[in-house]
Amino acid sequence: MARSRAERYAARLLRLLSRAFLALLGLVSRAASLAAPSPSPAATASPATATAASPSSALRKVRSVPPPSQDLLLLSGVELARRIRRKEVTCVNVIETYIGRIKEVNPLINAVVKDRFEAALQEAHEVDKLLSEGHDDEESLREKFPYLGVPFSIKEAFALHGLPNTSGLVNRRNIISETDATVVSRLKQAGAIPLGVTNCSELCMWYESSNRIYGRSNNPYDLECIVGGSSGGEGSILAAAGSVIGVGSDIGGSIRMPAFFNGIFGHKPTTGIVPNEGQFPLAQGVRINFLCTGPMCRYAEDLEPMLRVMAGPDIAKLKLDEKVSLENVKFYFMEHDGGSPFVSPVDKEILQSQRKVVENLEAKLGVEVQHVAISKMKYSLQIWSVMMSAKSSDGQKIPNFTDLLGDHGKPVWPVWELLKWTVGRSTHTLPAIALGISEKFVHYSPKANSKLESMGHSLRTELVNLLKDDGVFLYPSHPVVAPKHHAPLGMPFNFAYTAIFNILGLPVTQCPLGLSREGLPLGIQVVASPHNDHLTMAVARYLEKEFGGWVCPGRC
């Protein structure tokens, strides 16, 4: 579908404004760094950064986190559990190793915002005691506790007993969870040991993980780049080898964007498979159908067992026991969305990595990877925006974002907050304020709403009919590699590449594909029709084998 003249003009204007904003941002950041006095070593030194004069000087001297030096940090969760069950390594040793790694990297990346190291070590001792008593054989232990003794981390938006659950909202800074979210409880029951909670964007509605409680998280491959959001702290600590498996949530790409920017695997399951209970904010109305909780991990072999644990009884709705022969899978791909004026063009290196995947599949598996042009993908942003605000079938209205910002406290007036923000007095982040303003003043007409809703339903039908039960769709995870901090403000709608699949309710796995020339992760989304998660995860395992999967930051 060709773009109209108005769309072409809009695209040029938006790109011009974005470039101007980013140029201005660069000048301001440069001026601020030159004007800022150097902090004294005495004021900023800490045990975890003993070799650096200060955190800021560490950021200036070091581009990425150091590579892990312990072999235990380079094993999947499945393999760690196997070695613990066989008593080839003690659980205490595993947990101590991961605690040490977090203490090493967290001063650089600010990913873990609250830990529970003492409790984790106590639980590790209990695991070792259980194994020493020898009541169960190895197979029984595997069935009862598939992740026995394996450390994991959790997005702070999920409840973890005894730890904060603020979602980066200052009004909730004193909220401490008294229970566990359902998925957290299930992972604990599977034997996994939580190490702490990780950073997210304010109210989980932006794709840079920064807020006024915990500050900003940094990318382990380049500390000057974003980690994505809203599960950004989770993506960062996993990529930095400070955790091996983790829990994220996704309503517009909040698992897949951090997984892409940090070079790990992230899976958005088929809608309704994994429970969302126990996170804040919890989706209401039609958004219940769009919010998905899912696994994030460094190694593809952890995707399926994690999903089994997190889904509980609902795992029976999927086909995970079916053997997948990739030679019999039908592959389709699109290089970009067709030219939306609201998002950035896809980077050349991302396009090249996608072509390498296509060439590999055709050469190694002997399949034909068919290029498709689905014209409605160009309207992904508009479809997502309208569907996220639609009324449910029973007429239930979605709560306003500004109501969530207030969280039952004083009403939040976004324009007033913007004025306060300019003088450093607002307790909210600029993206949250901007979203509140746009919610108040930017609306589609009823006719446009109806047309876009219809287009969304039609797009879902088109993709489901294309993929059936034996097809997968390859699509960019994001149009650009991890940008510099604050840069998303100049390209705010790039999340449309992931968000459209929340609206469509399709399972998607983000797969890493190595690093760009600048050392930043590349990746691709693998999409299937509903309840065919087993296909996307099978492709993920294949791509890990062929392209290397997670790449150690700082080069192991």
Residues annotated as catalytic are: 155, 230, 254
Q: Which residue has the tokens 């969280």?
A: 407
Q: At what angle do helices 91-109 and 117-133 cross, to 10 degrees?
A: 160
Residue 301, SS3?
Answer: helix
Q: Rounded to an integer, what distance in angstroms lies between the CA atom of residue 332 and that of residue 430?
A: 39
Burial of 449 (0-12, 13-18, 19+ CB in 10 A): middle
**Contact indicator for 266, 510 with CB cutoff of 8 Å:** yes
Burial of 145 (0-12, 13-18, 19+ CB in 10 A): buried
Q: Residue 246 is which amino acid? A: G
Q: Rounded to an integer, what distance in angstroms lies between the CA atom of residue 529 and that of residue 295?
A: 19
CA-atom Rg of the chain in angstroms = 23
The secondary structure of residue 291, as a DSSP letter, is: -
Cα-based distances in Å from 241 to 152, 196, 208, 237: 11, 14, 20, 6
**Contact indicator for 49, 204 with CB cutoff of 8 Å:** no
Strands 193-198 and 151-155: parallel
Which residue in 464, 466, 457, 476 sits closest to 531, CA to CA? Answer: 464
| Phi, psi at 387, each rounded to 5° | -65, -35
Which DSSP helix (H) or strand (E) runs through 283? none
Q: Rounded to an integer, what distance in angstroms lies between the CA atom of residue 108 and that of residue 538?
A: 34
**Torsion sign over Cα 223, 228, 230, 236:** negative
**Segments in 282-413 forming alpha helices (H):** 303-311, 348-360, 380-388, 401-406
Q: Which residues pair with 155 in a beta bridge?
A: 198
Question: Would you list the DSSP string of 242-278?
Answer: S-SEEEEEESSSTTHHHHHHTT-EEEEPSTTSS--TT
| Phi, psi at 511, each rounded to 5° | -120, 130
Q: Rounded to an integer, what distance in angstroms lies between the CA atom of residue 36 and that of residue 509?
A: 42
